[in-house]
Amino acid sequence: QNELEANINIAKTKAMVSTPELVGLDNARDFGDGYILRSLRGSADAEFVDSRWPKSSSKSLRMIERQIEADNKNATKTDCSCCLGIEHEGNLVACILRHRNGSLGILHVDENHRRRGLGEILLREASRAFGHR
């Protein structure tokens, strides 16, 4: 993919995600080209995050599961999620988590999906949700 195509994809993605609606447990946001922004849920999502995290350890999977569970519990009260993922054609390809101390981290975009603005979308949407809480 050349730089012009990457810039077009980023601009298109930003325009499609500029809606004020926050992503919660009961809604996801389709922004075209097979990409869907949604809440992270369950063990499969936690395994995806853990498998991409360079600091993964024997205890990290359970820590990530607890972070996602806590975020889901908060999302039932606030109707917005801070632990988010982006699916492409049904497969999770990017993620961001809100740590228990309130910081955002473990931002990851699979290599084949980089340079499309997905990391920026995750950071912006998780920050908006955190600010809403």
Residue 70 and residue 80: Cα distance in Å, rounded?
12
The pLDDT of residue 114: 95
Question: What is the distance between the alpha carbons of residues 104 and 117, in angstroms, rounded to a whole number?
Answer: 17
CB distance 82 to 71 below 8 Å: yes
Dump pLDDT digits (tens) for 84-120. Answer: 999 999 999 999 999 888 889 999 999 999 999 999 9
Q: Give the Cα separation of 23 and 82 in Å (integer).
A: 8
32 phi/psi in degrees, rounded to 5: 85, 170
pLDDT for position 116: 93
What pLDDT is stored for residue 62 in this prediction?
96
β-bridge mates for residue 94, sequence order: 86, 109
* pLDDT value at residue 15: 47
Q: For position 17, what pLDDT does the model report?
A: 47
Classify burial at 93, counting beta carbons within 10 Å of its beta carbon; exposed 0-12, middle 13-18, buried 19 or more: buried
Q: In this predicted structure, what is the pLDDT of residue 1? A: 53
Ordered per-residue pLDDT tens for the chain, 133 residues: 555 555 545 545 554 445 556 677 677 888 788 999 999 998 999 999 999 999 999 999 999 999 999 999 888 888 888 999 999 999 999 999 998 888 899 999 999 999 999 999 999 999 988 877 6
